[in-house]
Structures are given as structure tokens and as C-alpha cells.
Amino acid sequence: MLCDSLKGRVRYFATRYRRAHDQTGRVCILIDDEEIINMPFQTENEIYSEVYRRWPGSDKSRAELTGEVSEEFHERGIYYPGDFGDALDEFLSNQISDSLYSGNWLVRLLAVLDRRTGKRNLVKLKDELHSLPDWLQYFYRLRLESEHLL
């Protein structure tokens, strides 16, 4: 579902480590064969470590704190493989117009690189570019430049 202007440049990579106790793996997004986003399985452990570091003295429940820490990681472009699977499920089950304005940054990434996102929508998205996390701006700029809109 990748747009024509980025075919051959953008690749999604997923692997599973069969010998790992939980068979988790990693997901990457590559641009011109360079890993731009790397979602290793260890990220989940980093999130939980941060939650347990903050939990003593916090008035929030563990679930609330986990959500807060996960959101902070996502703002920095740090995800784990399960996040990508969830985003892909949401992306494939929604209209492209809904995906472009999703609260999930990964869904937005998939939508902006999708061939169903036309130039008129891209021009509209250009106006909100500066309100996005830096790592996501990279992908928006990539698409805008590939369509000669930036």
C-alpha cells in the first residue's frame, strides 16, 4: 500500500526470534536501506523499568503510569514490536482519512506513506507538520519531498 513515489526506498522489516522464550522479535522501518525506526523487543522492558522506577511515591495506578510512560516513549519514537502490530491492525481496519488523524503516531506514519493519501491531503498535512514529534516529521517530509510538495 506504499505510494509509488517511495516504492523501492521504504521497506518494513519484521523478524521473530524463535528460540527466545516468548518468541518476540523486532520491527524496523528502513529508508534507502538505513534503519530509521527500530522497534526491538527490549523496549517493553525499558518501559516497565521506567514505570517501576517512578511508581514508589506516585499517586497513579501502575496501569496509568504505564500508559503515561509509554506515551512519553512514543513521543520520542521508541516503540516495541507489539506496538507496530497494533498500529497495523488499526490502520488496516480504518479509512485512510481516519488513519491520517489517528491518535497513534505509527498509524499516522503508515497513512502518510500510503498510496491512498493524495496530494490535496498532503498539502493539508503540511500545515500541521511542526506540531508532530520530530521523528514523525521526518516521514512526513519524506513523503512531501517525494511528491515535490516541499
In three-state secondary structure terms, 116 is coil
- Do the beta carbons of residue 121 and residue 128 sit within 8 Å? no
Residue 24, pLDDT above cutoff 80 = no
The bridge status of strand 25-31 relative to strand 34-40 is antiparallel
What pLDDT is recorded for position 21? 63
Question: Taking 80 as the threshold, does the pLDDT of residue 19 lie above it?
Answer: no
pLDDT of res. 26: 86
pLDDT bucket at 150, cuts 50 / 70 / 90: confident
Nearest CA to 102 among 119, 125, 118, 81?
125
The answer, yes or no, to whether residue 17 has pLDDT greater than 80, is no
Taking the model in full, what pTM does it have?
0.86
C-alpha distances (whole Å) from 83 to each of 55, 97, 100, 150 are: 23, 21, 17, 30
pLDDT of amino acid 88: 94
* Rounded Cα distance, 3 and 6, in Å: 6
